[in-house]
Structure formats: C-alpha cells, structure tokens
Amino acid sequence: AQSVTQLGSHVSVSEGALVLLRCNYSSSVPPYLFWYVQYPNQGLQLLLKYTSAATLVKGINGFEAEFKKSETSFHLTKPSAHMSDAAEYFCAVSDYKSSGSARQLTFGSGTQLTVLP
Amino acid sequence: NAGVTQTPKFQVLKTGQSMTLQCAQDMNHNSMYWYRQDPGMGLRLIYYSASEGTTDKGEVPNGYNVSRLNKREFSLRLESAAPSQTSVYFCATVPKGQFLSYEQYFGPGTRLTVT
C-alpha cells in the first residue's frame, strides 16, 4: 500500500517569504505524485503533478515541486508568498489496484498555509 | 460546462435517517469517486466507479452504498446515518485516456451533519 506523510499540519509565513510544504511518500513502484489546493468551502484543484518526466515540476500560481527519489520526497515551494495563497494543501500519490480498473489517489492529511501581512 | 456538481450543498440529518448524495458531471469522464474529508485526516476514498456499470469499495465503505446510474451520475447513499458520518463529502471524476496523468476533477462538496 502506498502512503503519504505531510509534515506540519499548519504552516505560517509572512507575505513575500518562501513557502515550503513538505511531503514524503512510500511506494513500491515508481509513483505519480500530485499537489492539490483547497480554498475555503471549495473542492480541490490540481496545482501540479509528477508523472516520471522532469523531476522539477512547475505548477499554477508560481508553485513548483521537486521529486527526489533518494529522499522519497515531493516538497512544494513558492519563492514569495501572497495573501491569496492561504489555503489547505494536499499531497497525493497514485495507487493502481490490480483488482480494479481505475487508479486511486492516496492523500496526505493536509497542511493549512497561513500568510501573515 | 458546469463540470462536477453535487447536491445538496448542506444537509442535517438525525441519527437513523437515510439520504442520497448526488453527483453529476458533464465532461464525459469515465471514472467517478466519492471521498469524505475529516479534519486532520485528508480525503479518504469511500467508493469508486471505474466506468459505467461498475463500482468498487475504497478505504472506508462501511455504512454507504453507491449507484452508477449512467455515465453522468454517481450517487452515494447513507441507509441509516450515524454521527460518525458527519463529514464533508466530495465527488471527483477522471477522464478516459488520462490513465497516466490521472488528474482528478472535484465537485464543490456536500457538508453533512448527523445529530
């Protein structure tokens, strides 16, 4: 079974500061990895995804993430935080069930990002 | 294009009551999923439907049933609601042919409270 660990359920940064949200995964096969963002009272939106191409993945709103196989990590970064980045962020890993016919996603527990003025 | 829609947006039930959460999509996607979201636990998969006519259990199926009515609609039923089912429920879809990229498209959610 695959799993995802997000270190830090709450992260606070000042506006303009670096954002770093941590994600570690476990997988017995090369994973597909995703970051989703959830704004208050909304569903999840895809920020970026890693599907075994370039290890540095760029997403929307200036976010990027780097896949590091040796560290089993997929941390999310943004050089300069904006107030509008305040949201909850979820890391997810794909999991193909041999008994089914559809890939499933396993989500981390989420990190709430607060941006301070 | 409405994308993924869910009804109702909010619902309060008493213990033992039943209800059906509705999900519909107009994107011609093949696979559909039901998740529940609880504080500090992320999203957990309840049931999914790889394609019309098939359904499978996810991580937390107990107390729920599903119906894939047609390609567009996937409903989640609580036969006898319990307080432990208080949660936010999300429906998600995946297009056919996105097997490798596997991006999920989420609905806005249904907030359910069971008293």
Q: What is the pLDDT of residues B84-115, one digit of tens each?
A: 999 999 999 987 765 555 688 999 999 999 99
Handedness of CA B39, B41, B46, B48 (dihedral sign): positive
CA-to-CA separations, B78 to A10, A98, B18, B43, B85, in angstroms, rounded: 32, 28, 5, 18, 9
Closest chain A residue to B58, measured at CA: A104
When pLDDT is cut at 50, 70 and 90, the band that residue A100 belongs to is very low
Cβ <8 Å between A109 and B40: yes
Residue B37 bridge partners (DSSP): B43, B88
Cβ <8 Å between A51 and B45: no
When pLDDT is cut at 50, 70 and 90, the band that residue A99 belongs to is very low
Q: Write out chain B residues lying below 8 Å of A94, CB-based.
A: 102
Q: Which residues of B80-109 are buried (b: 16+ CB within 10 A; e: fewer)?
A: ebeeebbbbbbbbbbbeeeeeebbbbbbbb
Cβ <8 Å between B4 and A46: no
Q: Write out chain A residues lying below 8 Å of B107, CB-based.
A: 43
When pLDDT is cut at 50, 70 and 90, the band that residue B67 belongs to is very high
Predicted pLDDT at B80: 96
Closest chain B residue to A100, measured at CA: B56
Cβ <8 Å between A109 and B44: no
Amino acid at A48: L
Average pLDDT over residues B2-17: 94
Q: Residue B59 and residue B48: Cα distance in Å, rounded? A: 10
Predicted pLDDT at A102: 58
Predicted pLDDT at A15: 97
Answer yes or no: is pLDDT of B9 > 90: yes
CA B67 to chain CA mean position, Å: 10
Report DSSP letters for A65-87, one per residue.
Answer: EEEETTTTEEEEEESS--GGG-E
Cβ <8 Å between A109 and B106: no
Answer yes or no: is pLDDT of A113 > 50: yes
Instruction: Give how far B40 is from chain A: nearest CA, Å.
Output: 5
Predicted pLDDT at A97: 53
Instruction: Give how far B108 is from chain A: nearest CA, Å.
Output: 4
Share of chain B above pLDDT 90, in %: 73
- Enter the tokens of residue B39: 């504080």
Q: What is the pLDDT of residues A38-97, one digit of tens each?
A: 998 888 999 999 887 788 999 999 999 999 989 999 999 999 999 999 999 999 988 665
Amino acid at B7: T
Query: From the list A9, A43, A104, which residue is nearest B106 (CB)?
Result: A43
When pLDDT is cut at 50, 70 and 90, the band that residue A98 belongs to is very low
Q: B47: exposed, middle or buried (C-beta count within 10 Å: 0-12, 13-18, 19+)?
A: buried
Q: What is the pLDDT of residues B23-62, one digit of tens each?
A: 999 998 888 999 999 988 889 999 999 888 889 999 899 9
**CA nearest A92: which of A28, A40, A38, A31?**
A31
Cβ <8 Å between B90 and A45: no
